[in-house]
Amino acid sequence: MKRLIRLVGVTFISPEFMVMLLAFLALSNFPDACLFLGKQIGKQADLLKYLCFLPAGLLVYNVKTARVILFPSSDTKKILQSWDRYDCLKMALFVGLVYSILFAFLALLCFSFDWRTPASFQAPLFLGTIAGAFVDSASFYAADLKVEEIFRREANNPPPIKNDPPAT
């Protein structure tokens, strides 16, 4: 039960979910502005063509980064894997990867839309997937930096040997 509650918390209390929620709120509260944005995006066919594949590239980055976070090269003693909150970290990374897959799929779906005569949902969906993919990758990057920082700090401050008297 605790794992399910943690999973729901990690899934719905996240910056990625907030981006999706903002896109939905923009669509529901400002459909005319969303339609205008869709028409403007449709005029930029080359930009649209390349931006639709950006979340897929960020998905590849996130998969690579998740492996580095879960199994850092500086953790030769498997300290991270024996950490009592390792399951929470792993769950958060997997939820982030699910978001990455979702954003990549939705961006590729946006590529198939008819942008010459867009519907009002297309712009928030497209911009939401791009923003969500960036936010997701930024979260992975921040987690990678934090894990690396912790291991570098611990490498410079080894624990005292038990036979040594405490420093005064």
Instruction: Name 128's Cβ contacts closer than 8 Å, sequence gap at least 6.
Output: 19, 20, 22, 23, 24, 106
Contact 66, 140 (CB under 8 A): yes
- What's residue 165's pLDDT? 56
Residue 80's closest CA among 63, 96, 66?
66
d(CA 155, CA 68): 18
d(CA 117, CA 42): 8
Count of residues in the chain: 168
Q: Where are the domains of the chain?
A: 49-155
- What's residue 158's pLDDT? 63
- Taking only the tens of pLDDT, the chain with its 168 residues reads 888 998 898 889 999 999 999 999 998 999 899 888 888 888 887 787 788 899 999 999 999 999 999 988 877 778 888 888 889 999 999 999 999 999 999 999 988 888 778 888 888 999 999 999 999 999 999 999 998 888 888 767 765 555 555 555
